[in-house]
Amino acid sequence: MFEIDWNILLPSLVVAGLVLVVLCVDIIRPDNKGGVSGYLSLLGVGVAIWVSLSLWGRSPTHGLGGMLFLDNYALFFNLIILAGTGLTIFVSTGFLEREEGGRSEYYLLILAATLGMMLMAAGADLIVIFLGIELMSIALYILVGFFRRRTDSNEGSMKYLLLGAFATGFLLYGIALVYGSTGTTNLREIELAVAQGRVYTHPMLLGGVALLIVGFAFKVSAVPFHMWAPDVYQGAPTAITGFMSAGPKAAAFAAFFRVMVASLGDLSGDWSGAIWMLAALTMTVGNLGALSQRNIKRMLAYSSVAHAGYVLVALVAANERGIAGGVFYLLAYAFMNIGAFAVIVALGRKGDENLEISGYAGVGFRHPGIGLAMTLFMVSLAGLPPTAGFFGKFQIFSAAVEAGYIWLTVIGVLNSLVSVYFYLGVVVSMYMRQPVGQAHAVSMTPFARVALLTASLGTLYIGLAPTSLLQMARQTVSALL
């Protein structure tokens, strides 16, 4: 009588099982310093990627009482999220040993956050999306403050916690208002209710939509809800900063896009103006903020704000090319940004993280491989052709032109031109500044090398042969439109 299509749950189930296994390992061997857990996590992430890929291309379904979707959209985001998680684990192995002596719950928390993100991407009900967000966020609060003896790590964690919980309040209030006016929290039923006009009070629904936007805008760090991001990114352990900028951001966008386009698409006349403003502000404030930064983590934090703005442009356009472009961009962004953070981790040393951009002088000649990789990531983040970043922006902006948002495109292009300045600033520092002080040997663990190599190759591949991935991104769109 109660058929369960286990496939719908399978990817999340793999990760959930992994969380339990890692938890048990930690309990059995509390002093393993995360070594075993790290390998296990990698293995599990690999399995989850394989499962997600094998489910690709099926006709979209939903199940478990209408709580979860299984469609290409969710699966594509699973790939982004899992890729981000996998790369982060690779980066983390040496980093943890160097910095504070690894503790095994680190991997447990990363995996729990990953599970939350996957639920956000697949959620078919506001309850599931809410739970996914919280599962992810609570794990991240702890991860940000993981170096508990460091004041910056603490401070970032506390700010993130207080502001995150504050934003959760708005998000929940928004859910309550949407529930009150449509009588349901299920995404498909909300869509039907809006389409058929079965709405109790229209202004209340719109108020709910506005508060939902606030909640998601916080998670994707859109201006003016972005102010936590620079502080938290700077304070968090570097590997976690990279992690946060890829998966959690992608997952928040996954839920944001799905809710706005699939469920509330009929109201787009009401919300697209607001998102327009949000996108324009986010791009501008993000890039301007990054311009005067000297700390590379903080610069990349502002840069991540700016990139959220570019993806919001895709949401404003809300057409096929736009959404495909946005989804594609998030994938590209995961690779290039985690790659950049892998470089930052590699160039740090115990007791001296070497985070000033001026401290990168001469890296290009002292460590040619790392210099080359960093150049690739920076050029890609700047969106110069022929890299992944350029291609993603091209998709998004041409979609915006297609949808008639010329001015937003103009703002976007101006912004991405400004951004070239600070990204290339890093490259200039690496290749054209006289290094000060002694050259330090860079000791990268084999795992960190693999991470850097994978991120570089991924960025290159996405830039040079984007066709197949773009095709996949386009196949996700039917879930929304």
Partner 1 sequence: MLTTVEIIILLPLFGAIVSGVFGHWLKKSSGYVATACVGAAWLLGLKTLVDVMGGVGVDENVYTWVSAGSFTASVGFLVDPLSAIMLVTVTTVSFFVHVYSFGYMHHDAGFARFFAYLNLFVFSMLVLILANNYLLMFVGWEGVGVCSYLLIGFWYERKSASDAGKKAFIVNRIGDFGFLIGIFTMFGYLGTVQFSEVVAKAGGGALPASAATGIALLLFLGACGKSAQFPLYVWLPDAMEGPTPVSALIHAATMVTAGVYVVARSNVLYTLSPTAGAVVAWVGVFTALLAASIALVNTDIKRVLAYSTVSQLGYMFIGVGVGAYTAGIFHLFTHAFFKGLMFLAAGSVMHAMSNELDMRKYGGLLSKMKVTGYTFIIGTIAIAGIPPLSGFWSKDLILAGAYHSHVPGHAALWALGVVGAVMTSFYMFRLILMTFFGQPRDAHLYDHAHESPPSMTVPLLVLAVGAIFVGGVTGYPLEHGWINHFLDPVLGSPDHGSGGAGLSPSVLIGISVAAGLGGFVLALVMHRSGRLGADSRQPIHKVLWNKWYVDEAYDVSIVRPIHRLSMALWTIFDTIVVDGIANGLGYTVKGISWVSGRFQTGRTPTYAMWMLFGTIAMIYAVTLP
Partner 2 sequence: MAVATSHYLILSAILFSIGVAGVLTRRNAIVIFMCIELMLNAVNLAFVAFARHLGQADGQVFVFFVMAVAAAEVAVGLAIIIAVFRNRETVDVAEVNLLKW
Binding-site member from 179, 394, 431, 461 for partner 2 (CB under 8 A): 179
Binding-site member from 59, 151, 434, 438 for partner 1 (CB under 8 A): 434
3-class secondary-structure state, position 463: helix
Looking at residues 93 to 152 of the shown chain, list those that interact with partner 1 (rule: CB under 8 A).
none
What is the maximum alpha-carbon separation in the chain? 73
Closest Cα partner for 63 from 124, 119, 10?
Answer: 124
Query: Does 166 interact with partner 2 (rule: CB under 8 A)?
Result: yes
Query: Does 460 interact with partner 1 (rule: CB under 8 A)?
Result: no
Closest Cα partner for 35 from 89, 110, 111?
Answer: 89
Q: What is the dihedral of CA 270, 271, 277, 279, to 10 degrees?
A: -150
Binding-site member from 1, 3, 28, 151 for partner 2 (CB under 8 A): 151
Sketch the per residue contact string, 309 through 338, with partner 1: x for CB under 8 A, - otherwise: -----------xx--x--------------
Query: Does 481 interact with partner 1 (rule: CB under 8 A)?
Result: no
Closest Cα partner for 344 from 220, 227, 463, 448?
Answer: 448
Closest Cα partner for 479 from 185, 270, 257, 249?
Answer: 257
- Alpha-carbon distance of 445 to 459, in angstroms, equals 21
Tokens of 32: 């393993």
Query: Does 417 interact with partner 1 (rule: CB under 8 A)?
Result: yes
Tokens of 156: 């970032």
With DSSP H G I counted as helix, E B as strand and the rest as coil, what are the percentages for the chain, rounded to 5? 80, 5, 20
Query: Does 268 interact with partner 2 (rule: CB under 8 A)?
Result: no
Looking at residues 75 to 134 of the shown chain, list those that interact with partner 2 (rule: CB under 8 A).
127, 130-131, 134
| DSSP-assigned states of every residue in 319-369 | SHHHHHHHHHHHHHHHHHHHHHHHHHHHH-BTTB---BGGGGTTHHHHSHH
Residue carrying structure tokens 């291309």 = 57
Sketch the per residue contact string, 277 through 316, with partner 1: x for CB under 8 A, - otherwise: xx------x--xxxxx------------------------
Residue pair 469/331 in contact by the 8 Å Cβ criterion: yes
Count the site residues for partner 2 by CB under 8 A. Answer: 39
Radius of gyration of the chain (CA): 21
Residue pair 95/106 in contact by the 8 Å Cβ criterion: no
Query: Does 235 interact with partner 2 (rule: CB under 8 A)?
Result: yes
Q: Which does 446 bind (CB under 5 to 8 A by kind): partner 1, partner 2, none?
A: none
Count the site residues for partner 1 by CB under 8 A. Answer: 73
Query: Does 185 interact with partner 2 (rule: CB under 8 A)?
Result: yes
Binding-site member from 69, 77, 107, 141 for partner 2 (CB under 8 A): 141
Q: Which does 134 bind (CB under 5 to 8 A by kind): partner 2, partner 1, none?
A: partner 2
Query: Among the candidate windows 164-172, 349-357, 370-378, 380-388, which touches partner 2 by CB under 8 A?
Result: 164-172
Q: Which does 402 bind (CB under 5 to 8 A by kind): partner 2, partner 1, none?
A: partner 1
Q: Decide whether 414 or 481 has the Cβ nearer to partner 1.
A: 414
Residue pair 160/243 in contact by the 8 Å Cβ criterion: no
Looking at residues 150 to 189 of the shown chain, list those that interact with partner 1 (rule: CB under 8 A).
158-159, 162-163, 166-167, 170
Query: Among the candidate windows 172-180, 255-263, 349-357, 376-384, which touches partner 2 by CB under 8 A?
Result: 172-180
- Contact residues toward partner 2 (CB under 8 A) are 127, 130-131, 134, 138, 141-142, 145, 148-152, 154-159, 161-162, 165-166, 168-169, 172-173, 175-177, 179-180, 183-185, 230-231, 234-235
